[in-house]
Amino acid sequence: MEEKFSQDSSKAYVSLQRALTVELERLKSLTAAFHLIDNLTQAEFNNFSQVLMTTNPDIVALKWIEVVPKNQRFLFEAEMKNLYGEKFAIKTNQGSRNAVATINDRYAVVKYVFPFEKNAQAIGRDSFSNEAQRQALYLSDITQSSFATSPQSIVQQKGDDKVVIIYHPVYSKSEKLKGYTALILNLNNFLSSVKTNSLLEKSLGLYLTDLEKNRVPFAGSGPEYLVEELLFRSYEFYLPFAGRNWLFNTEVNLKALPDYQKFEHTSIKKKWAFGIVFSFLFSLAMFLIVRARLQVVEANNTLKKQEKYYHDLIDYSSEAFYLFNCQGDILDVNAEACNLLGYTRESLLSLNINQIDVNYSSVELKDICKDLLFDKKVLFETQHKTMSEKVIPVEISASKFKINNENVIGAFVRDLTDRKTVKAISLDNDLLQRAIEERTQELDGQKRAFETIFEKSSDGIFISEGRRIVDCNQATVDIFGYKSKDQLLTLPNKVFVPKFQPDGESSHRKGFRMLQICLERGSHHFEWVNRRASGELFWTDVVLTRLEYYGRTVFHFAFRDISTRKRLESEMKAAREAAIFANKAKSEFLAKMTHDIRTPLHGILSYAQMGESRVESLSTEKIQRYFYNVQQSAQRLMTLLNDLLDSAKLESGLMSFQFQYQNIEPVIQSCLAEQASLIDNKVFI
């Protein structure tokens, strides 16, 4: 029964290995579709997935996870809304929560899933927000190979069943990471399918344990047995899969095996009891006759069976195996040992173990063989040298036993290169995690400082989505004259502006134009007229900035009431225009006054010159007329000078005017008399 159980366990182990390999090939086939088609549509993804899942209906889902940088989140969500509706948003992947994902440097978003109906809740979830999934995605990208998560609970899976998500990275032609294909396996159902499809013994209990988490199985199939039972038996197999270290365990109570039950059946024992006793003597005689021959035949058959079982077990093992004597001569190896070291089987059989092991000499190996007890395992780490002279770290599980009365050592050798790499990556991940925590604390401090500035600022600050205000500070409430912040946040944006701005453009159209400028440039500065709760209009100086606010594009408004400044500017402009007008009037007045002064002055000078040049030939009457004209011109000049001196009265508005009808003839006669000397002089010349 134990031999039968051992054979069934080996068959189960090999069957499970092959089945898991098929699933990895299935995932790689889906990945190949994304390499062949740059932009795989949802319909094309569904077609590929449907073909891949026809041979295994126990797969929970196939997924396409796209990597989205922070600066492309808005465009990605807009694209996804066309596929899944306006309510789509990138969500955090923490349990069953549907919270919108916070702002991160990048996201790993589930874009497609098949079958859709059973897994619709997974759409839009950010796999980077789950610690176990983020680590598996990171390691898959680093190793550029398939990588599995630890056992997970997912929203679309009901009950306590755990699943394992296997990721494979997809790169663009420029070697840039585009995303990941993913395959979700329910290991309970998967083990049951392997048992059924491989025609394994139904009484076997099959269990899987994740060695990197704990020693508690996370998946199982078949009946459960008590370890305390007398005929309880179990086998353990190390099962590396997609970067994880699993332990495959088979259990049974030998009584549950069909062969045991056949011989234990009560009715058969009663019917044949008498016959057995009766035929015992005859059987004993026959036994004595053929005993010698049977012993030889059975010994040969047993030896052949053991040898075949030994070779099958060793060859099917995923770990390298060496068999060597206490002198270190290699007696046997399996195919995995040849793959590990790069030698042919014949070459390895001609070597001594100390030619491969770089840490232990032949003397030390003999001491290990001497100290090693029978039926006891020893586990240690060392380094082996490959045919290409490359040194690799290995873990050896060795035990000593006898073959043909010779002490030999069987050693299972496990390559630790990946484990060392993962350990180093885990260490780097821990350092990265601490750096993230420090950065988070720094950002929290900046957030508190921003909130303090936001609330305590004397300038109005509010955040708007375009149609309504999302948040504001107390200064905004005070400037607009509302009773509370809650009252202000319930109102639409159109309440806070007049229908038209002072330049005649509608507030709605101009506001939309300001937002477009801000979207293109990132910020914009302008002046704007607002309306208080009382209806009063007032000017503001506005600085508009585009922000990402909890995953949405919003606008940050910082404004200041500049009504007093605008009033002073208006008064200053009016005063400036008045001064310019007064200066122009003064200039015109002086130009005219200069002309008027020159006219009588020319009369005085002309008559004086004429009298001086003609004094000897002039009569008394002409001289008297010359002096009269000089006196008239001087009198007129005096009047003009008095008017000029009274210009201060004109500027201050104290000048009085008397308007009445006048006879213009004396004025004409006076002008002719003033110019007569010039006329005579011209005529004389």
Question: pLDDT value at position 389?
Answer: 87
The torsion defined by the Cα of 258, 259, 264 and 267, in degrees rounded to 10, comes to: 80
- pLDDT at residue number 402: 77
Contact 480, 533 (CB under 8 A): yes
Most confident of 250-254, 620-624, 637-641: 250-254
Q: Could you give the CA distance from residue 219 to residue 209 in angstroms, rounded to a whole number?
A: 7
Band of residue 146 on the pLDDT scale cut at 50, 70, 90? very high
191-200, 396-405, 406-415, 418-427, range with the lowest pLDDT: 418-427
Q: String of b and e for 477-493 (b: at least 16 CB within 10 Å)?
A: bebbebeebeebbeeeb
Q: Which of 201-205, 308-312, 401-405 has the highest mean pLDDT?
A: 201-205
Average pLDDT, the chain: 81
Lowest-pLDDT range of 157-171, 283-297, 604-618: 283-297
Q: Is 148 left (phi over 0), alpha (psi -120 to 50) or beta?
A: beta
For residue 412, count other CB atoms closer than 10 A to its CB. Answer: 22
- Torsion region of 91: left, alpha or beta (phi above 0 gives left; psi -120 to 50 gives alpha): beta
Model confidence at 183, pLDDT cuts 50, 70, 90, reads very high
pLDDT at 318 over 60: yes
Strands 460-464 and 125-126: unpaired
Q: What pLDDT band is residue 156 in, cutting at 50, 70 and 90? A: low
CB atoms within 10 A of CB 4: 15
Beta carbons of 214 and 22 less than 8 angstroms apart: no
Q: Is 323 exposed, middle or buried (0-12, 13-18, 19+ CB in 10 A)?
A: buried
Q: Alpha-carbon distance 323 to 339, whole Å?
A: 16
Residue 253 CB partners (closer than 8 Å, separation 6+) = 225, 229, 231, 232, 233
State the DSSP H helix or E strand holding residue 45, giving kind and residue range, or none if neither: helix 42-52
Please answer whether residues 108 and 70 qualify as being in contact, where contact means their C-beta atoms are separated by less than 8 angstroms: no
DSSP structure string for 214-249 = -SS-SEEES----TTSTTEEEEEEEEEETTEEEEEE
Contact 601, 678 (CB under 8 A): no
Cα–Cα dist 381/417, whole Å: 12
Which amino acid belongs to residue 224? E
Nearest partner of 477 among 489, 464, 465, judged by Cα: 489
How much is the average pLDDT of 198-209?
Answer: 85
Tokens of 538: 């007032």
Residue 683 has pLDDT above 60, yes or no: no
Mean pLDDT of 3-12: 86
Q: What average pLDDT does range 667-672 have in this prediction?
A: 80
- Please state the separation of Cα 585 from the chain's center in Å: 71
Asked if the model's pLDDT at residue 397 lies above 60, the reply is yes
pLDDT for 93 equals: 79
- Higher-scoring residue by pLDDT: 589, 521: 521
Of 358, 10, 32, give the one whose Cα is nearest residue 198: 10
Q: Which of 304-318, 382-396, 572-586, 602-616 has the lowest mean pLDDT?
A: 304-318
| Confidence band, pLDDT 50/70/90 cuts, at residue 267 | very low
Rounded Cα distance between 513 and 515, Å, is 5
Measured distance CA(519)–CA(554) in Å, rounded: 10
Contact 88, 124 (CB under 8 A): yes
Residue with the bigger pLDDT between 508 and 431: it is: 508
Judged by average pLDDT, the poorest of 59-73, 194-208, 632-646 is 632-646
Lowest-confidence range among 121-135, 276-290, 296-310, 394-408?
296-310
pTM of the model: 0.42
Query: What is the average pLDDT across 570-587?
Result: 83
Can you say whether residue 242 is alpha, beta or left, with left for phi > 0 and alpha for psi between -120 and 50 degrees? left
441-445 LR contacts (CB < 8 Å, sep 24+): none
Reply yes or no: is the peptide bond before residue 502 cis, omega within 30 of 0. Answer: no
Asked whether residue 685 carries a pLDDT value surpassing 50, the answer given is no
**Category of 179 on φ-ψ map: left (φ > 0), alpha (ψ -120 to 50) or beta:** left
Could you tell me which residue, 224 or 656, shows the higher pLDDT? 224
pLDDT score of 452: 73
pLDDT single digits (tens) 453-512? 777 788 888 888 766 788 898 889 989 999 888 888 888 888 888 999 988 999 888 988
Average pLDDT (84-107) is 82
Question: What's the Cα-to-Cα distance from 390 to each of 21, 336, 357, 420, 430, rounded to whole Å?
Answer: 28, 17, 12, 16, 30
- Mean pLDDT calculated for residue range 141-167: 84
- pLDDT at 653 (0 to 100): 63
pLDDT at 677 exceeding the cut of 70:
no
Residue with tokens 């394994």: 200
pLDDT at 108: 93
Burial class of residue 650 (count of CB atoms within 10 Å of its CB; 0-12, 13-18, 19+): middle
Quick one: which of 141, 118, 112 has its CA closest to 48? 112
Sign of CA dihedral 412, 418, 421, 423: negative
Q: What was the pLDDT predicted at 388? A: 87
